[in-house]
A and B are shown apart, each in its own frame.
Chain A
Amino acid sequence: MGRLLAAVLLALLSCLAGAVDYPPVAAGRPLAFPRDFGSHPDFRNEWWYVTGWAKDREGRDYGFQVTFFRHRPGVAEDNASAFAPRQLLFAHVALTDAAGGRLHHDQRAARAGFGLAEAKVGDTGAWIGDWRLERQGETYRARIAARDFALELDFSPTQGPMLQGEGGYSRKGPLPRQASYYYSLPHLAVSGAVAVDGQRRPVSGTAWLDHEWSSEGLAPGAVGWDWVGINLKNGGALMAFRLRDRSGATLWTAGSWRDPHGEVRVFAPGEVAFTPRRRWRSTASGAEYPVAMAVRVPGLALDLEPLVDDQEVDGRRSTRAIYWEGAVRAFRDGQEAGVGYLELTGYWQPLKL
């Protein structure tokens, strides 16, 4: 969702831009923490994106996703009103209840201001009303009271940040400026509770945080993408994505694999391959998704199986798209090797950006 919303909003809002100069994303700017945990309000887009798996005491599996998205529309920046929409914040949360076989999701949008909705500079902290994601000490806290579920989750890093691309400079297309600053925090230890169907259930699990900021849009010609982030059981982590064109062919790929020892392999374009293994057709939208995907990178071959097939999100009201985003298990040679999240967009209709 986060990526999709980012892309869509970018497209929608980019026409506003013009008077505003967004800072470019360039290679060679080293990321510094905790400063870069925080917001970068000068850039056009930014998101904090947590996905993960949790289990309650009865052994029920949950997939969850918490995203805070910041956007600088570039309008009314000289407006003296406290309401001037200099920064907008969006949040999207989802919970896949494996036992219930259902995906719950909810979203919020607000302009930053009055302390009611903000994205903090200097360290991670974003909130819209009482939805918040915040770094306190080393721990990230997510507190979300959605329409029909609630998340009360703490994420403790067990590993350091995994810088994507060239030290955090992550290319999203053939041109150098088609890039973002991007780091991930895999293997976050999850503790807390989820509340669904009116019942609060303590849970524990593993999560993955992405933080990415940029000023550029989607590469021209792209109509959708596949993205995956997997926490491997052995302590390793894999992030991979590809952009597809209208014909379904791969337009751009990228990815990185950190092995249990902390060695990171960054893959060059073309080194990442996504191959559908099984497709599932949504009765609601009629779209067909490769919900079981084979991901191949040099040195690692994973087969993905969804937690439940139906993790389709009808986002027509906000992003105008229907897509699939859900918890998946990763199998290596038939053995479960890890869990993570898979995002499949552009299968319902080409993303019209």
Chain B
Amino acid sequence: MPSLYLAPEVRRLALASQGWRGLVAVLALALGVALGYGVHRVHSAAVAETEGAARRLAGQADLVVRAVDGGMDEALYPRLATRPEVAAASPALELEAKVPAKADDRRRERLRILGLDIFRASELQPILAALPEPTDVLRPDRLFLNPAAMAWLGVRPGDRVTVQAGVREVALQVAGTVDLPGRPLAVMDIAGAQAAFGSLGRLSRIDLRLREGVGQDQAARDLASLLPVGARIELPTARARQAAEFTRAYRVNLDMLALVALFTGGLLVFSSQALAVVRRRRQLALLRTLGLTRRELVVLLLGEAAVLGVVGGILGVVLGQGLANLLLATTGADLGGAYFRGLNAHAALHLPAAAAFLGLGTLAAVLGSLAPVLEVAKASPARALRAGDEEELFARHRSPWPGLALVALGGAAAALPAVARLPFFGYAAIVLFLLAAITLLPWVAARLLDLADRLPLNGFAPAHLALAQLRAAAGQVSLALAPLVASVAVAAAMAIMVGSFRHSLEDWLDRLLSADIYLRTGTIGDSAFLPADAQARLAALAGVARIEFRRSLNLSLDPERPPVALLARRVDPRAAERTLPLVGDGRQPDPGRIPVWISEAMQDTYGWQPGQVVELPLGNRPLPVQVAGVWRDYVRSGGSIVINRDDYAAASGDAAANEAAVWVGPGAAESRVAGEMTGLFPAGLVVAEFPGDLKRLSLAIFDRTFAATYALEAAAVAVGLAGLSASFAALVLARRREFGVLRHIGMDRRQVAAMLACQGGLLAGVALAVGLVLGGVLSLVLVHVVNRQSFHWSMDILVPWGPLALFAGSVAGLAVLTAAVSGRLAMRREAALAVREDW
């Protein structure tokens, strides 16, 4: 009988009594949905943009032959192009060019340059066929920029762009645009690129289109046998997938954080519904007495929750879309992780995603109210009609066992490994621990309030009364506290995780940055490097006590994964821990073996273990090396391998360097030496940095990375506090009569305020006590499970007591304030008069 639910009397009973606690629940759900949907939209826009760019670049290629370490012999190109199964072959030289004019840009952005044979490329990439004049395309010094590059460099066709090649400057002229989406990118002639960037004879990639009827897999297998060690065949989608893969952990983690906000919203619905149901027990019992069946009652109340969920969900999607548009318009697709920097993405309303998040919001609301609704439906109407035993409802929840069972489950989930390289069980553990805490909350709250009762409070009447009232309503209090506990726990967990991370990072930086000056020209995969003669000139400068040149490059070990970084530098195999922050003990390499030290990510994703002998695709044949230790690398979550530069140079023949660490001699001023070093080269090509600046910069980047996290945390705590304040106001309103009696008995405003403040403080105390303990547990899960499985790095737990105390103090203060504000309602004259409104 659906008309029953629509009858004004029933509807009124259902919704009107929600009051503004219902409104807060709706807002909380909306916030959760908005964050979830907004973050999701921003990220999917970014990924779509990245993947779209990769896909459009790949064009109609069926297979891609790619250089493993950034360069392969171009002789491979005619060999592949003349294969019977190959219809078209397009060679390319890809490089990340440093733009000295942007050297001050601390984002360290690079211009990706694609050197192409336009005739070959246009057979595979229709976009390139549309390049305006073949004339300019062929000139070795002409660049075609995509819109992102135009915007970033602030140039127009006809302008010149200077990029760095080695330690030289190369001036290129912007000849036009190329309609490719994504990051800043430029297309130029392959001959010009090879000559300008010292890559004569080298190719990064050969895109292949197969003849009709030739199977992709078969061709891939056949062609793979032709390839030298330094080249590998992959599907054109591999790069796009790699890009998505590279950012996946980061995206999923941010999504999860947004979902925590939604979870808190769901908890708020739970708390609001549970309290509303408790309050309305008698009305609901009356309905049951009048003939409403149990099922009808459940449908009525769940429908009510669903309405809250849908309203909150719609509001959330609208807010989330606005948030996504705002973020994309202001900060771009980069939410702090720097993965999507410089990307020009747009997020349109995406109906399936909107529907999914609307559904999640509704589900959170319905699930949130399920427990209290079933509870009230089960209750005997006759008993419920009797006044005053609300707390009896909670008697059952005083048992700690269900909560402890959830704790055990959570612990088990935390011990499980990653699924699809994502810490799903880690998140499951977090949810289980949260649920456990909420289940245990009535029991814990009762114990804590008992404990508080032993304090010598009796002399202070308001405190005494406050405590008595809370103790008597521990069950309801727990419900009111659940959202706050959850959000405090999440915030504390994040704070501990971020604090530990930051501390570990600082330590790590101190360990790594042992030199006095760091000279840098380009980073991995860059167009800029220090050739041998430049190295000699640097080493010969006065004041240099020691100079160590380092080379870093990308090594693609697995087509399905992002490339790993190979860092060639000086490491003493007998005392590797002196130069590298090793995890565990190093291991002496077997005699005659070339030692390498791998990052934790290598251990996690490639399964390499100390002592293992592995092969690196360096030069023209595989180089067997032995893992001599595992080190902590906070920079390259895709994995990194450290090798002695001598070993690297011997194997690859590459004597160039990207970086130099300089120790100055006694009496030499660092700044003077640095100035002389950079002065050897045209301005901006070689940058000297000091460890202090590097450390500051790294930490600033770190802080920016976590800015989005802080925002989400703050949102979760705000939701929790809003819930607490709503619940508290409801408690106060429901007890108007009691306040009236107290006023009659002679409590003055200050005493009532003090009492309410005490209650606020006590509630906050309980929420903080439980939330902080829970947060500690969750932080362990975050550090040891979620972070480790997502980013593959370990860290030392460091509890940031100061900030946590500040945070706890703020929450307590806000709770007290909330209570005081709610108290104003109770202290109105009408409240005192309420005593006389007998019913």
A adjacent to B, CB under 8 Å = yes
Residue among B133, B190, B191, B195 with the highest chain A CB neighbour number at 10 A: B191
A159 to B78, CA, bound (A): 38
A83 to B120, CA, bound (A): 11
User: What residues on B are CB-neighbors of A15 within 8 Å?
Assistant: 135
> How many chain A residues touch B (Cβ–Cβ < 8 Å)?
24
Chain A residue with the shortest CB-CB distance to B91: A83
Q: Which residues 43-81 of A sit at the B interface, judged by CB distance below 8 A?
A: 73, 75-76, 79-81
**Would A110 and B120 count as touching, CB distance under 8 A?**
yes
Quick check: is B453 within 8 A (CB to CB) of the other chain? no
Quick check: is B200 within 8 A (CB to CB) of the other chain? yes
A115 to B139, CA, bound (A): 22
User: What residues on A are CB-neighbors of B134 within 8 Å?
Assistant: 9, 12-13
Quick check: is A175 within 8 A (CB to CB) of the other chain? no
Q: What is the distance, in angstroms, from B150's C-beta to the closest C-beta of chain A?
A: 23
Chain B residue with the shortest CB-CB distance to A317: B129
Quick check: is B82 within 8 A (CB to CB) of the other chain? yes
A73 to B138, CA, bound (A): 9
Quick check: is B192 within 8 A (CB to CB) of the other chain? yes
Q: What is the distance, in angstroms, from B122's C-beta to the closest C-beta of chain A?
A: 8
Instruction: Select which of B74, B135, B195 is within 8 A of A12 by beta carbon.
Output: B135
Chain A residue with the shortest CB-CB distance to B189: A85
Instruction: Select which of A13, A76, A83, A129 is within 8 A of B117 by beta carbon.
Output: A83
Instruction: Select which of A75, A85, A115 is within 8 A of B78 by beta carbon.
Output: A115
Q: What is the distance, in angstroms, from A161's C-beta to the closest C-beta of chain B?
A: 32
Quick check: is B606 within 8 A (CB to CB) of the other chain? no
User: What residues on A are CB-neighbors of B74 within 8 Å?
Assistant: 82-83, 114
Quick check: is A109 within 8 A (CB to CB) of the other chain? yes
**Would you give the 0/1 interface string for A256-273, flagging 1 where the beta carbon is closer than 8 Å to chain B?**
000000000000000000
Chain B residue with the shortest CB-CB distance to A109: B119
Q: At the interface, is chain A mostly helix, strand, loop or mixed? A: loop
Q: What is the distance, in angstroms, from A143's C-beta to the closest C-beta of chain B?
A: 14
A82 to B138, CA, bound (A): 14
Q: How many A-B residue pairs have CB under 8 A?
A: 68
User: What residues on B are CB-neighbors of A99 within 8 Å?
Assistant: none
Q: What is the distance, in angstroms, from B768's C-beta to the closest C-beta of chain A?
A: 68
> How many chain B residues touch A (Cβ–Cβ < 8 Å)?
24
Quick check: is B339 within 8 A (CB to CB) of the other chain? no
**Would A80 and B78 count as touching, CB distance under 8 A?**
no
Quick check: is B194 within 8 A (CB to CB) of the other chain? yes
A109 to B121, CA, bound (A): 11
**Would A79 and B138 count as touching, CB distance under 8 A?**
no
**Would B81 and A81 count as touching, CB distance under 8 A?**
no
Instruction: Select which of B82, B117, B120, B140 is within 8 A of A79 by beta carbon.
Output: B140
A88 to B77, CA, bound (A): 18
**Would B192 and A76 count as touching, CB distance under 8 A?**
yes
Q: A109-B119, A114-B81 are in contact. Are A80 and B200 (CB under 8 A)?
A: yes
Chain A residue with the shortest CB-CB distance to B115: A83
User: What residues on A are CB-neighbors of B140 within 8 Å?
Assistant: 75-76, 79, 84
A81 to B193, CA, bound (A): 9
A110 to B758, CA, bound (A): 84
User: What residues on B are CB-neighbors of A73 within 8 Å?
Assistant: 135, 138
Quick check: is A16 within 8 A (CB to CB) of the other chain? yes
A97 to B194, CA, bound (A): 45
**Would B78 and A83 count as touching, CB distance under 8 A?**
no
Chain B residue with the shortest CB-CB distance to A114: B78
**Would you give the 0/1 interface string for B113-133, flagging 1 where the beta carbon is closer than 8 Å to chain A?**
000010110000000010001
**Would you give the 0/1 interface string for A1-42, flagging 1 where the beta carbon is closer than 8 Å to chain B?**
000000001001101100000000000000000000000000
**Would A83 and B194 count as touching, CB distance under 8 A?**
yes
**Would you give the 0/1 interface string for B137-156, flagging 1 where the beta carbon is closer than 8 Å to chain A?**
01110000000000000000
Interface set of A (CB-CB < 8 Å, partner B): 9, 12-13, 15-16, 73, 75-76, 79-85, 88, 109-111, 114-116, 129, 317
